[in-house]
A and B are shown apart, each in its own frame.
Chain A
Amino acid sequence: MTLPMALHLLGSIVLLGLVRTLGADNPLTTIGWAMLLGGLAFSVAQVRESTRRYTLTSLMAGIVALSLMVAGDLGAVAGLKLDAELTRKAEVVLAGAWPLLWLCATLVLVTVERARAANPIALPRARAQLAAFAGLSTALGLACLMPLNYLAHEHNERWDHSYFKTAEPGTSTQAIVENLTDPVQVFLFFPHTSDVTEEIRTYFDQLSSPNLEVAYVDQALEGELAKELKVQKNGTVALVRGAGADAQIQRIRVGTQLDKARRKLKRLDQEVHKALLKIVSEPRHVYVTVGHGEMYWKKGTGKLPSRLIATLKKELRALNFKVKELGPAQGLANEVPEDADLVMIMGPKKGFLPEEIAALQAYIARGGALLLSLQPRTETDMGPLLKDLGLAYEGTQLLVGERNTWKVTRRPNDNYNLITNKASTHPSVTTLSRNSRSTAFLAPVSAPLEALPNSSHKVEITLRSLPEVFLDVDGNLRQSAETEQKKAWPLAAAISGPVEGADVEEGEEAPEFRAIVIGSSSWASDLVLGVAPGNMVFARDGLAWLVDEPDVGGTVNDEEDVKIQHTREGEGWMFYGTTFVVPFGLLALGLVRLRARRKRGEA
């Protein structure tokens, strides 16, 4: 680097830094000016004839550029007393012109000086000219990129290819629509210009029923209707049953901007399903027992995620159930409330009082519905209640699997977490049964049920473990062939029976009680429902059968993203394959190829 070039670059940096930090009128800026002028002076004294013109011109152009910068900083444009618009334009031009001029000057200087350094003895004029032109063209080329990028920034086009799909109607939603007895109107308040309209249309086109009318309206054009349905803006789906004061209306807010509506569209089927259930049927009452160490839905009570049922409660509400507590404080020892459509006993750890058992027995006898999830290895004795249902449950020994288990702690205890797809054809497990290839049930920490012989009720084992599972008699998590047999153990049962003494009119079905008993309680916990979609399917179908409401069961689609996790234990082949086999395999292939080439060359 020659002295004039060094002084020019250093002077420019110093001047720019001082002007930006201290201001152009600060006396310290003379240091920068001194450097620049010093560079000019040295070049006049030292530079060779062939390059003098280019070097001097570049240095002076650089000084002019920096002068323009300083003038702009001092408000020289305002001093010209032009009108506001012209002043603004002049300032913009000045702000763009001085860096461009400086860049051209500097790059020409650099290339000419480099050419001079490459030819210390003599530099022909033509070569000097060539070098200057190279510098200038480089500077202009780089300068052209700046407005190009500015335009790209101002007119940025975006294409979003992240996963998005509007949920399609699930079997449960379709069942509700097909079984509608009264007309339901669906008003879709969306403008024709919105992208969301097409997504919504795709969904509702798949729901067809004589009793379902779908209309596309614009909130701005149908003000009266919007006011009647209390729809304030477009982007809303309104479902209406009935008319006038008795009309039942449910609204779903989706939005009209596709990028904001995506999340709602992914869960559209869930929302429509929930809304339909609310308008086509009265809410049912489910009583969940408390006071015996059962699983509960409130966090912060020292409960682990495996003992929380907040997700299940949320699902019950979505299925139009009203959830209430039923324990000693609510009079369980006296009787189960008359309005109870369903009673759920979720993993009790303490015993029920005899009076409470009697109340539950009376509830079943009068045609109630019961969901009983048993907790193994506890003090509870549900024997009398289970005997009434035609079942027995010891609960002291646990079932252990070997291969198909859920690895959550990566310790041997994970073998208690059974996975099964062995569902019967009973209505309470219809969806699991039909989708057994793709959907499985997760039963953590389970003990087997036993169907008692000669039961007067209809007892069907609805879920069994895989045949590789054994009952761990000695508790060592390893199978002893003599005492521990591998077979498909009963995990869940559905029981139904007639209500004694009920008056049945001709042509009507006899009322019956229904119950589902499961030999594990964690199946319905927040921890498990979050990872096992099959368990939620089991819950919906089970609830649908218990309350004799087929619309509640089936699938409700959801296109929300899913959580995944691969572990070395679970997918070891994937881990070793992707990490080691592929890279080293390719390296080996390359080395073989090179060796073959070398041999061919030698030959």
Chain B
Amino acid sequence: MRATALLVRREIGAYLNTTWGWSILALVLLIDGLLFNVFAMGGKEKYSADVLSEFFYFSSGTTMIAGILLTMRLVAEERQTGTIVILETAPISEASVVLGKFLGAWLFLTLITALTAFMPALIFVHGKVSVGQILAGYLGLLSLGSATVAIGTFGSAVSRNQLLAAVLGTGMLVLMLLCWVMGQVTEPPVSEIFSYMALWDRHFQPFQEGRINTEGLVFYASVTAAFLLLATRSLQVRRWR
């Protein structure tokens, strides 16, 4: 646990002490702010619940993008710079390495997500929304973010460089997002499996509307666990050399 905590601190430090981390933070807030003001709050009048729902809709996209950008460097950068040897020879299990890197990236993503809270707070000014509704939406964002970071961590673990890690991570993410399309064109029971596996369509929308489903929480936790397990195995394979 201590080793994991050290790695978490190291990763968060890597984001906060580099231009890259702050740039991603500013980029996400800029895009969120633009989309919020132009589409969610701007345009014609909308019910405040709809404005909040649209905010979470746009934020889910920026969260997924941020997740891939934050994770592409996790392991792949270490391979590129040669510091992977230190990790591989350190008296620390692969599971601790993966968990530490995942938690570092996810906590930074949580920080970015938390910094967007002033936007739904603006809806309070004239609208009728509840704190519970906003918190439910953020729980959805953090859950989706957790799954995205896990996918990105796996992509980084199996890639030789950051660009490949980003491409691989994005590819897997898009595949999981598009599972809902597969669910439309196949027949039961396969269609039900694909529909369930869709990362956003079925599981995020309730959070967007202010509803918490245990099914969604278990799904996102499962995706996170699955990809972290695969990332751990991938790192172990390297040690078999």
Contact = CB atoms under 8 A, between A and B. Distances in A.
A164 B49 CA distance: 11
Nearest to B35: A579
Contact of A152 (B47, B209, B211, B218): B218
Interface in B122-146: 122-123, 126-130, 132-133, 135-136
B184 interface: no
A156 B213 contact: yes
B225 to A, nearest CB: 7
Interface stretch (B24-32, B71-79, B102-110, B167-175): B24-32
Interface stretch (A420-428, A478-486, A581-589): A581-589
Contacts of A134: 233, 236-237
Contact of A149 (B17, B122, B222): B222
Nearest to A128: B240
A584 B229 CA distance: 38
B2 interface: no
A130 B240 contact: yes
Contacts of A119: 240-241
Given A161-B212, A579-B37, A148 B222 contact: yes
A119 B118 CA distance: 54
Interface string B9-23: 000000011110111
A118 interface: yes
Interface in A110-160: 111, 114-115, 118-119, 127, 130-131, 134-135, 138, 141-142, 145, 148-149, 152-153, 155-160
A163 B127 CA distance: 10
Interface stretch (A25-33, A376-384, A561-569): A561-569
A591 interface: yes
Contact of A566 (B21, B37, B241): B37
A587 B37 contact: no
Given A149-B219, A161-B132, A565 B22 contact: no
A579 B136 contact: no
Most B-side CB within 10 Å, residue of A161, A560, A566: A161
B45 A563 contact: yes
B49 A565 contact: no
Interface in B192-239: 196, 206, 209-215, 217-219, 222, 225-226, 229-230, 233, 236-238
Given A118-B241, A586-B26, A590-B25, A161 B136 contact: yes
A209 B233 CA distance: 73
A164 B129 CA distance: 8
A163 B214 contact: no
B177 interface: no
B217 to A, nearest CB: 8
A594 interface: yes
B25 A158 contact: no
A50 to B, nearest CB: 12
A111 B233 contact: yes
Given A135-B233, A566-B122, 10 more contacts: A20-B190, A138-B233, A152-B219, A161-B136, A162-B132, A163-B133, A561-B47, A564-B51, A587-B23, A594-B19
- The 7 A-B pairs at the shortest CB distance, nearest first, are namely A590-B22, A161-B132, A162-B210, A152-B218, A587-B26, A583-B29, A563-B45
17 contacts: A114-B240, A118-B237, A141-B226, A152-B214, A158-B211, A158-B214, A161-B211, A162-B211, A163-B130, A531-B45, A562-B127, A562-B128, A563-B48, A564-B47, A564-B126, A584-B30, A594-B17
